[in-house]
Amino acid sequence: MRLQPLGRLVVPAPVPIAARGPAAPPATATVARLSAARPRPIITGMPTRATKRGRERTPLQRDCDVLICGASFAGLAVARELAGIGADVLVVDRYEIGERQTSACGIPTAWLRALALEESLQQTFGELVIHTPHSTVRYDLPWTFSTFDYRTLCGLLAGMGTFEFETAKVDGRTGDTVHTDRGDIKAPLIVDALGWRRVLGVGENIQPPDALLSRGLEVHPFGSGEDLEVWIDRSYVPAGYGWSFPADGEVRIGIGSFDPRHHVREPTERLAADLHADRVRYQGNWIPHALRDATEDGVFFVGDSAGHCLPLTAEGIRTALYFGIACGRELRRVIEGEQSRERALARYHDFSAQHALAFRWMLRVQRLVPRVAPRLLAPSLRTMGTKRFVDWSFNHYLNVAHPSFVAGGGAPRTRHVPSAGAAA
């Protein structure tokens, strides 16, 4: 297949920084402590780091009501739901908020609108272009997809919370005490939003290549483009896909492999070269593609630490926000004395588990696609390209984590199982 170049690369102007269940049991002593009014400093808006690196990196040893480990999409979504209720919420991360981008930063546009994050939006697409070795198909989507600026979005999302922020590397946990490189932090409510390593889980974590993880890498050349593009081509990766996501002044070009044993640097560079783009500004990560228990030993897990990344498409941002909001709502009810911590753990665990069937179906399709003969893949994609089928399949796919959940105030029932057509 002959690839079309992205067009003349230009150096842009700087981009602006972008269920309710049965009645709950009576509140426990933990809840009483959490809900007790007490004076404390309230930090609103974009939190700033209280300490610095090197010699000025001070010890950190304290108690709080809620400890959120991880300050990216999932952790900040949890914090957003706890705003303004008088709880002592501490967010810790190894990096500054918005400092370390590890994804292509694309999401259904309706999620940006639902969370009032439009300021971070960079470029919007109403079509998806899929390339195979034998043909190219173009799908007219029933909803738009947008790229966004990571730093801007994290700053906006953080500004919706009421919490303190500290930079610290989380090393592990003993009971209600989390160990960091700056000291121990104790909290009755602990959230792990640290990523696929599941740092606060029980026992040794499974490491790649044995873990159910995909491998992704991309480059960020300056340039422009008009199309949201995907390559399903085994000459690049035996099981996986390539992508090109334009983002208002840069293009995010990468390769994702469903098999973690396959390295992706060489095919990423080759795809960029085929698109006449520079191989600069690398970023990559491991991507979970299997749902895991959302609670364990008294800890709440959100985002990649719970496997909340959709198989097949590797879309994990909106699900991180979705499950982060759900977790935050359960924690809020604990703080307000409406339920015990144990009840919150059970409800959040069940909410996440309700989505298991959808995740399993998508994982089955992920494993099926590499087995389809290349000569059959192109006609299959063309057959699935009718407007009626595209609308039906992509709307089912969106409903896995629908943006209406933001305003819903509760946990919706699982509505469907996504179809194979959502693979597009």
CATH number for the domain including 235? 3.30.9.10
Q: Is 1 among the domain residues? A: no
- Domain limits at 275? 122-144+212-288
CA distance 85 to 66: 12
Residues 307 and 412 in one domain: yes
pLDDT of residue 316: 93
Q: Is 279 among the domain residues? A: yes
Residues 257 and 198 in one domain: no
Last residue of some domain: 273, 288, 303?
288
Residues 351 and 305 in one domain: yes
Task: Please give the C-alpha separations between residue 96 and each of 52, 81, 154, 169, 225, in angstroms, as whole numbers.
Answer: 11, 21, 10, 11, 30
Q: Is 240 among the domain residues? A: yes
pLDDT of residue 56: 59
Residues 46 and 170 in one domain: yes
pLDDT of residue 44: 45
For 270, phi then psi, to 5°, come to -70, -40
Task: Please give the C-alpha separations between residue 384 and each of 133, 364, 378, in angstroms, as whole numbers.
Answer: 17, 18, 10
pLDDT of residue 190: 98
Q: Is 73 among the domain residues? A: yes
CB 139 within 8 A of CB 424: yes
- Low-confidence stretches of the chain (pLDDT beneath 50): 1-51, 411-424
pLDDT of residue 370: 83
Other Cβ atoms closer than 10 A to 37: 6
Residues 307 and 414 in one domain: yes
CB 79 within 8 A of CB 92: no
CB 313 within 8 A of CB 41: no
The structure's pTM equals 0.84
Last residue of some domain: 242, 267, 288?
288
Last residue of some domain: 288, 309, 328?
288
Determine the straight-line distance between the first and last CA of the chain, rounded to whole angstroms.
19
Task: Please give the C-alpha separations between residue 200 and each of 68, 111, 115, 176, in angstroms, as whole numbers.
Answer: 11, 29, 28, 11
Residues 350 and 220 in one domain: no
pLDDT of residue 46: 46
Residues 262 and 402 in one domain: no
Residues 323 and 338 in one domain: yes
Residues 223 and 346 in one domain: no
Residues 311 and 368 in one domain: yes
Residues 159 and 241 in one domain: no
Residues 393 and 319 in one domain: yes
pLDDT of residue 378: 77
Count of domains forming the chain: 2
Closest CA to 158 of 83, 215, 100, 87: 83
Task: Please give the C-alpha separations between residue 331 and each of 138, 159, 190, 255, in angstroms, as whole numbers.
Answer: 43, 19, 10, 37
pLDDT of residue 236: 95
CA distance 219 to 266: 12
Torsion of CA 292, 327, 256, 261, to 10 degrees: -30
CATH of the domain at 309: 3.50.50.60
